Amino acid sequence: MFKDIFRKTKYVTINSNQKQNRSSEVPRQEEAAIVSKKELPDGLWVKCPKCGEVLFNKNLDENGRVCTTCEHHFRISAQGRLALLVDENSFEEWDSELNTMDSLEFPGYEEKLLEAQQKSGVLEGVVTGRARIEGIPFVVAINEAGFMMGSMGSVVGEKIARAIERAIELRLPVVIFSTSGGARMQEGILSLYQMAKTSAALGKLAENHLLYISVLTDPTFGGVTASYASLGDIIISEPNALIGFTGPRIIKQTMRQELPTGAQTAEFNQEHGLIDLIVARTQMRPELARLLRYHQEGAEYGSTI
Amino acid sequence: MFKDIFRKTKYVTINSNQKQNRSSEVPRQEEAAIVSKKELPDGLWVKCPKCGEVLFNKNLDENGRVCTTCEHHFRISAQGRLALLVDENSFEEWDSELNTMDSLEFPGYEEKLLEAQQKSGVLEGVVTGRARIEGIPFVVAINEAGFMMGSMGSVVGEKIARAIERAIELRLPVVIFSTSGGARMQEGILSLYQMAKTSAALGKLAENHLLYISVLTDPTFGGVTASYASLGDIIISEPNALIGFTGPRIIKQTMRQELPTGAQTAEFNQEHGLIDLIVARTQMRPELARLLRYHQEGAEYGSTI
Amino acid sequence: MAQLFEFEKPIAELEHRISELQKFSADKGIDLSQEVDTLEKKVLLLKKEIYGNLEPWQKVQIARHSERPNFYDYAPLLFEDFIELKGDRLFADDHSIAGGIALFHGVPVTVVAQVKGKDTKENIKRNFGMPHPEGYRKAIRLMDQAEKFGRPILTFIDTPGAACDLGAEERGQGEAIARCLLAMSGYHVPVISTVIGEGGSGGALALGVCNVLLMLENSFYSVIAPESCASILWKDTTKAKEAAAALKFTAKDLLRLGVADELVREPQGGAHNNLHQTADELSEVISKYLVRLRSESPEVLRETRYQKLRKIGMFRESAEINLTKKLD
Amino acid sequence: MAQLFEFEKPIAELEHRISELQKFSADKGIDLSQEVDTLEKKVLLLKKEIYGNLEPWQKVQIARHSERPNFYDYAPLLFEDFIELKGDRLFADDHSIAGGIALFHGVPVTVVAQVKGKDTKENIKRNFGMPHPEGYRKAIRLMDQAEKFGRPILTFIDTPGAACDLGAEERGQGEAIARCLLAMSGYHVPVISTVIGEGGSGGALALGVCNVLLMLENSFYSVIAPESCASILWKDTTKAKEAAAALKFTAKDLLRLGVADELVREPQGGAHNNLHQTADELSEVISKYLVRLRSESPEVLRETRYQKLRKIGMFRESAEINLTKKLD
Ligand SMILES: [Zn+2]
Ligand SMILES: [Zn+2]
C-alpha cells in the first residue's frame, strides 16, 4: 500500500561482517572523542569526563567502559553491551537486514542516514535477537546510541515490535536496553506511531504473562521514555544515567525553569518511584540472570516446597 | 463457630415501624441542636451554622435540609435521604433485623448501642435495600450518621457486603451514601476487617461489570474512606462535605501540622483528583438518574447508531 | 471579528472594497450592483484559490487560531448530554484534559479530550493545553471504565504537547504517556480519535491509539513542533514554514501515509468561521464510523486496532544502502 | 543489652544477684554453687511465670521494643535471595514499605513489608513505619506482578498506622488503602500475611487481606492504638493498659475471633532476644502453609480468601434489643 511513495533508487549491499561478528573486545564509542586529540595519543588513552582521570583505553574496555576511578559509565555500543552481557556465541540476531527509507523525502535525511551507517557500522538504531544469560534464554533489544542517538524511526519500532512478537511465540522474556533521544523527526508521524506500536506489542506480551525488563541507560528521553522504556515489569537503570521525557535544555528554554542539581538522573527517578533498581554495568549480567531465573516458566529451583 | 463467645441474654422485639415506614417529611437530625433552645421556640426554627440565618424548620425540610440562604447542607438521616432520593414506594429494605452484639464485651458498648438505637430509632449505622430512581432499579446503602456517627462494625460491614452480593445476583448497580467516623473501635479487629469485607465484595461487583457509585457526605473519614467510600467507579460528593482518612484534630495533634483552610473539603478532594463530581443534594436525584441510565444493561436509548 | 492571517488579507481587502462601494452606492443613490457583483465573484474565486491551497504552515496557523473551537465548544453540539468526571484518583485533577460520559446519537460513550484555553486566564488554568501525568492518568481511568462497561471511546486531540516542566518529570510524564498507549491498545471497545486542532507529538499521541483516526481539515498532527524542528535542522526558528512542509503533518499527508482514516471538512477559512457547521460535519463522520465499529466483535476491535498500528511505518527488507547519494 | 521493661525487672534483679554470688564465690574461693543453682531455678520459674502470662499492654511494649526485629532483620534469614524493587511508578518510593522478589525455600515469592526504623535517623527516613499512599501503591504494583507471574505473596505487617499528614490526605491515603484491600482480595495466588510487630489499624490491614494470617506471639493487631482508644473512652491516654485489654488484639484473641490462623512462637521475652530462633520458627510456619496453599487451584485460593473475609464479624439476626441493660 505504500508503494506509491517508494522512491526509485539503486542499492548495493553493505559489508555487514563488522556488525554481525561478535567481538570479545568492547567497541569504543564516540564519547571517547571528549578527550582532546592534541593532549593524548590517538585512541590509546581517554580522559574520564567525570573525575578527569586519564585512563588506558584497553583497561577501560576490560572494565566494561566503566571508569576504574570514579565508576563513571561511558556510553557503550550495542555490540559492546552484548559482549559484556550474554553467554558467548549465544546471540542470534534478528531482522538485521531491515533498513530505513526516506519515506517523507525529508531534507538531509538520506545523507544523515548514510553518515550514521558508515560511522557506526550498523544499519539502524537498534539490535534485536535472542540470546542467553547464564544459560537462560531471552529476547533482547539494544538501542545503538552511535546511530542518530538511538532515535526511533520506522525500523527501530518495527524491529522491537517483531522481537516482542517473536518472544510471545517462543514464550521468552524480553529485555530492552534503551538509549535514545526520542522519536526520529525525519520520519514524522510514522516515527511518532512507533511509540504506539512498541507499546501495543508490549501489551500483548503482558497479556501472555511474559516478563519484560526495561534497562535504561544514558541518555533515555522523549518518545522512547514515553513508550517501551517505561513499561517494564521491572525497570533497571545504570547509575547516574540521565532519564526523562523532556530534555533539560528544553525545559530550561520553554519553562525558564532551572532544574535542580541531580534532576533526571537515575537516582532522581528512583526517588520519584519510577525505577526499581539501579545496577552498575559490571553487575548487570548476574542481576539480570537472577531476575530471569526467578521468572522462568516451569523452573524447578530444587524447591523444597 | 462463634457460639462459645455468645452471651446469654434475653431479647425483646423493638417496634420497627418507625424505621420501616417511609415518610415524605424529611426527619430531622441532631445537628439541629446547634440552635440554642433558649433563643428559638422548640424545633420550629433552626439557625444555619454557616450563614447564621434563622430558618423555619419546615422550609428547611422541604428544601432537603439545605439552607435556603447559603446552600449549607445540614446532615440528614438515612430515611430522610431515601425520601428525597428514590421513587415513592420503591424502597424495599434488606436485612433490617441484623443486630449488633457486644462480641468483645467492650466496656460501655452495650449501653452505647442501646442509647444509639433508642435515640435514632434504627438498629444500626446503615440502611440497605433496593429502590428505583426515575424507574431505574438499583441497590442502595445509606450510612446513618445519627447512629454512632455511622461507624462501621460487624453489622454495617455485613449489611453492605450482603447488599453488594445481592446486587450481583440481581445484576443491579450499587449506590452507597457514606457518612462515617470510620471503623467502630468497640468491635476491635472485627470492625477493622469489615473494611476488607466490603472492599472484597466491591471487587466481585466490579468483576461482574456492574456500576458502583459512591456518594460521600459530611463527614466521611477513617476506615470507611479507606474502603468502600473510595472505590466507586464514580465518586460523588455533596458540596463542602469533609472527607479524609485522618481527622483534622488528629493530624493537628500528632503531626503538629495546621491544615490549610479548606483542606479535606469535597472541593479540596476534587482538586486533588479524588472526586469526580460535586452535586448539591437537591440535584442528586436527577444526577444519579442520568448516571444510572447510561449504565443500564441492554438499555435502548432510542439509539440512532 | 476573528483575527486575520497574512494570507487572508487579500480577501479582507476585497471585502472591504465591496462594503465601501455598497456604502457609497447607498449614500449617493448610484447603482453599483454590477461592480459589486463582479467583486463578489472575485472574492469567491479568491477564497477558493486561497483556502483551497493552504500551505502546511498556514494550516498550523489556523489550527492554533485563538478562536479555534476547543472541545468545550464542540461538546454541547456533538452530544445530547455530557457529564464531566474528574481526577486521576492519585494526585490531582488536570484541567488540560477533560473527560466523562456523553450521549452521542443516543449512545453512551466515554469522551476524553485535550483542552486549550481561549484566553490567558483560561490558558493558565489549562496549562495551554499541555497535560501533566495526572491528566493522562485521568484519561486511563476513564477509558478503563469505558472498557469495563462496554462503552465506545471518543478522544479529541488538541495540544501543543505534554507538559514539560519539573513537576511533569517528577511524576513520570513518560510513564503516564506510555501507559496511555498501552491501555488504549488493549481495549475491546471502539476507539475513535479526532485531531481537532494541534496534535503535538507524544502528548497528543497518548490519546491517539484508535480504530479510526479522523482529522479536521486544518488540523495537524506532528512528531515535533515545526518551530523546534526548524531550530534543530537549521538553527533557525523562523524557518518553521519550511519545517512545516517537510514534516508532512497535515490531514492529507496523514491520509496518504496510512495513519489517518478520514479528513473532516471545515468551513471555508477554518472551523472558527462556523462552529455549528464543523460540529455537524464531525458528528456525521464520527457517527458513520461508530456504526461500523459497533457491529464488530470485541476481539476484532482490539485486533484490528493492533494491526492498524503494526502497519504504520515504512522500511525495506534489505541491508543495502542507497547509492544515489554518497558521502565523500 | 536490650532495653528492660518494668515487668522484667524482677528477673533482672535475680540475675544480678546470681552474678554477684558467682563473682563473690570466685573472688573468695567459697563454694556457692548450691545457692546459685537455687536462684537459677527460681529465675527459670519466674521467667515462665512472667513471660507466660504477659498482659496485652506488656505485649504492646514488646511489639514496639526498639530492638524488635524488623523486616530487614528477617529477610536474610527467611530468604535465600531477596531483590528489593522500588517505587509506585507514580510519585515516589516510600521507604516505610519494602518489597520485591525473594526466594523462599527455593520458591520465588513476592514480598511486601512495612518497615519501622531502628534509630531516629532511620525512623525519619521510614516515617516511623507509617506508609504514605505511594507505599500502598508500590505494594499494589508489586503484588499485581505476583498475580501476573503466578508467584505467592508474603506480606509482613509492622506499622503504628498509615501516615496521617497533609500530604497523605492530598494524595488519597484512603483511596490507596482501599485499593490495596480490593487488589489483595482478588488475587489467584496464595497470600500469607504475618504480623511481626505492631498491626496498627487500616494502615496495617492494607497488607492483611490473605489466605492465612500468622501472628508472632507478642505482636498485636488492632483497630486503633490503645492510647487513642483510652483517650476517646476515658479522656485519659494513661489508661492505655486498660484499653489494650479491652481491644482484644493479641495473637490469642485473634485466633479465638477467627481472624488469625496461627500464632508463631517467640523466644522467651520476645523476638529481640533471639532473632535466629524467631526467624526459624516463622520460616517453618510460613512454609507449612505455603505448601498447603500451593496445592490449591487459583480459583479456590481466591474464593477461600473471600469466604474467610466474609465470615469475619459477629452479629445476630433478630431485631431485638438487649434487656439485661437498659437506659433510664
Ligand atoms: Zn572517572
Ligand atoms: Zn445558611
Whole-number Å distance, alpha carbon B51 to ligand 2 midpoint, is: 4
In a domain, B30, yes or no: no
Judge: A196–C208 Cβ closer than 8 Å, yes or no: yes
Q: In terms of domains, do D75 and D43 share one?
A: no
B/C interface, count of CB pairs below 8 Å: 69
Judge: D105–A294 Cβ closer than 8 Å, yes or no: no
pLDDT tens-digit profile of C118-133? 999 999 999 999 999 9
User: Which chains does chain A touch, 3 or more C-beta pairs < 8 A?
Assistant: C, D
pLDDT classification of D59: cutoffs 50, 70, 90: very high
**Higher local confidence (pLDDT), B243 or C237:** B243
In a domain, A232, yes or no: yes
Mutate to test the interface with A, among D101, D137, D291 (most CBs of A within 10 A): D101
Q: Which percentage of chain A shows pLDDT scores above 70?
A: 84
Judge: D91–C171 Cβ closer than 8 Å, yes or no: yes
Ligand 1 (ion): residues with CB under 5 Å are: A 48, 50-51, 53, 67, 69-70, 72
Ligand in closest contact with the CA of B66:
2
Judge: B5–D256 Cβ closer than 8 Å, yes or no: yes
* pTM of the predicted model as reported, rounded to 2 decimal places: 0.92
Whole-number Å distance, alpha carbon A22 to ligand 1 midpoint, is: 27
- For the beta sheet containing A174-180, the strands, ordered from the edge strand earlier in sequence to the opposite edge, are A92-94, A126-133, A136-143, A174-180, A212-220, A234-237, A277-278
What is the helix (H) or strand (E) element at residue B21, kind and residue range? Answer: none
Mutate to test the interface with B, among C82, C83, C109, C136 (most CBs of B within 10 A): C83
**Higher local confidence (pLDDT), A11 or A180:** A180
**What is the crossing angle of helices D298-311 and D173-186, to 10°?**
130
String of b and e for A113-149 (b: at least 16 CB within 10 Å)? bbebbeebbbbbbbbbbbbbbeebbbbbbbbbbbbbb
Question: With contacts defined as CB-CB under 8 Å, which chain C residues touch D90?
Answer: 90-91, 133, 137, 171-172, 175
Whole-number Å distance, alpha carbon B220 to ligand 2 midpoint, is: 21
- Residue B186 belongs to a domain with what CATH number? 3.90.226.10
pLDDT classification of D125: cutoffs 50, 70, 90: very high
**What per-residue confidence (pLDDT) applies to D318?**
80
pLDDT tens-digit profile of C180-195? 999 999 999 999 999 9
Mutate to test the interface with B, among D179, D215, D255, D309 (most CBs of B within 10 A): D309
Question: With contacts defined as CB-CB under 8 Å, which chain C residues touch A249?
Answer: none
**What per-residue confidence (pLDDT) applies to D3?**
75
Residues 23-62 of C with CB under 8 A from A: none
In a domain, C323, yes or no: no
Phi-psi region of B135 (alpha: psi -120 to 50; beta: other; left: phi over 0): left
Give CA–CA dist A199/C310, Å, rounded.
11
Amino acid (one-letter) located at D231: S
Judge: C171–D89 Cβ closer than 8 Å, yes or no: no
Judge: C172–D137 Cβ closer than 8 Å, yes or no: no
Q: What are phi and psi of A51, to 5 degrees?
A: -100, -10
**What per-residue confidence (pLDDT) applies to B161?**
98
Q: In terms of domains, do D47 and D76 share one?
A: no
**Contact call for residues B152 and B178 (beta carbons, < 8 A):** no
Q: In terms of domains, do C211 and C162 share one?
A: yes
- Which of C83, C90, C291 has the CB atom closest to B273's CB atom? C90
Judge: A206–D148 Cβ closer than 8 Å, yes or no: yes
Q: In terms of domains, do C117 and C140 share one?
A: yes
User: Which chains does chain B touch, 3 or more C-beta pairs < 8 A?
Assistant: C, D
**What per-residue confidence (pLDDT) applies to C2?**
62
Whole-number Å distance, alpha carbon A52 to ligand 1 midpoint, is: 6
The three three-digit cell numbers of residue C128, written as one number: 495551554
Low-confidence ranges of chain C (pLDDT < 50): 1, 323-328
Judge: C83–B275 Cβ closer than 8 Å, yes or no: no
SS3 C27: helix
Q: Which chain D residue has its CA at the smallest distance from B223's CA?
A: D202
Ligand in closest contact with the CA of A72:
1
In a domain, B98, yes or no: yes
Q: In terms of domains, do D33 and D102 share one?
A: no
pLDDT tens-digit profile of B78-96? 999 999 999 999 999 999 9
Judge: D178–B107 Cβ closer than 8 Å, yes or no: no
Nearest to B194 by CA among D225, D219, D316, D259: D259
In a domain, A152, yes or no: yes
Domain count, chain A: 1
Mutate to test the interface with C, among A19, A126, A189 (most CBs of C within 10 A): A189
Q: In terms of domains, do D237 and D276 share one?
A: yes
On the 0-12 / 13-18 / 19+ scale of CB atoms within 10 A, B194 is buried
Q: Which chain D residue has its CA at the smallest distance from C133's CA?
A: D90
In a domain, D200, yes or no: yes
- Residue C219 belongs to a domain with what CATH number? 3.90.226.10
**Contact call for residues D87 and A273 (beta carbons, < 8 A):** yes
**What ipTM did this prediction achieve?**
0.93
Q: In terms of domains, do C160 and C34 share one?
A: no
Q: Which chain C residue has its CA at the smallest distance from D170's CA?
A: C91
Q: In terms of domains, do D11 and D76 share one?
A: no
pLDDT above 60 for D128: yes
- Which of C186, C246, C325 has the CB atom closest to A203's CB atom? C186
**What per-residue confidence (pLDDT) applies to B301?**
54
Q: Which chain B residue has its CA at the smallest distance from D185's CA?
A: B200
pLDDT classification of B303: cutoffs 50, 70, 90: very low
Give CA–CA dist B234/D244, Å, rounded.
39
Question: With contacts defined as CB-CB under 8 Å, which chain C residues touch A157?
Answer: 313
Judge: D325–B193 Cβ closer than 8 Å, yes or no: no
Bridge partners, D193 (sequence order): D155, D213
**What per-residue confidence (pLDDT) applies to D212?**
98
Judge: C315–A229 Cβ closer than 8 Å, yes or no: no
In a domain, C253, yes or no: yes
Mutate to test the interface with B, among D143, D261, D322, D328 (most CBs of B within 10 A): D322
pLDDT above 90 for A63: yes
**What per-residue confidence (pLDDT) applies to D321?**
62
Question: With contacts defined as CB-CB under 8 Å, which chain A residues touch C246?
Answer: 104, 106-107
First to last CA, chain B: 56
Mean pLDDT, chain D, as a whole number? Answer: 94
In a domain, C320, yes or no: no
Judge: A301–D287 Cβ closer than 8 Å, yes or no: no
**What per-residue confidence (pLDDT) applies to B100?**
94
In a domain, C25, yes or no: yes
Q: Parallel, antiparallel, or unpaired: how do β-strands A234-237 and D212-216 relate?
A: unpaired
Q: In terms of domains, do D94 and D228 share one?
A: yes
In a domain, A158, yes or no: yes
pLDDT classification of B140: cutoffs 50, 70, 90: very high
**What per-residue confidence (pLDDT) applies to B33?**
38
Distance (Å) from the alpha carbon of D165 to chain B's nearest alpha carbon: 6
Judge: D86–A295 Cβ closer than 8 Å, yes or no: no
In a domain, A94, yes or no: yes
Give CA–CA dist A112/A93, Å, rounded.
25
Domain count, chain C: 2
**What per-residue confidence (pLDDT) applies to B279?**
98
pLDDT above 50 for A29: no
pLDDT classification of A1: cutoffs 50, 70, 90: very low
Domain with C289 in it:
60-311
In a domain, D328, yes or no: no
E-assigned strands of B125-233? 126-133, 136-143, 174-180, 212-220
pLDDT above 60 for A13: no
**What per-residue confidence (pLDDT) applies to A44?**
87
Domain with A249 in it:
75-294
Touching chains C and B? (3+ Cβ pairs < 8 A)? yes
Q: In terms of domains, do C170 and C23 share one?
A: no
In a domain, D320, yes or no: no
**Contact call for residues B212 and B237 (beta carbons, < 8 A):** no
Q: In terms of domains, do C16 and C91 share one?
A: no
Write the CB contacts of C251 (distance below 8 Å, at least 6 apart in sequence): C195, C215, C216, C217, C218, C219, C220, C260, C263
pLDDT above 80 for A38: no
**What per-residue confidence (pLDDT) applies to B24?**
37
Give CA–CA dist D173/B220, Å, rounded.
13
Write the CB contacts of B268 (distance below 8 Å, at least 6 apart in sequence): B262
Q: In terms of domains, do D49 and D64 share one?
A: no
pLDDT tens-digit profile of A193-207? 999 999 999 999 999
The three three-digit cell numbers of residue A137, written as one number: 534464554
Ligand in closest contact with the CA of A48:
1
Whole-number Å distance, alpha carbon A218 to ligand 1 midpoint, is: 16
pLDDT above 60 for B40: no
- Interface residue ranges in chain D relative to chain C, Cβ cutoff 8 Å: 89-91, 133, 137, 171-172, 175
DSSP summary character for residue B73: B
pLDDT above 50 for B248: yes
- Which of B101, B226, B264 has the CB atom closest to D202's CB atom? B226
Distance (Å) from the alpha carbon of D179 to chain C's nearest alpha carbon: 11
**What is the crossing angle of helices D71-78 and D275-294, to 10°?**
60
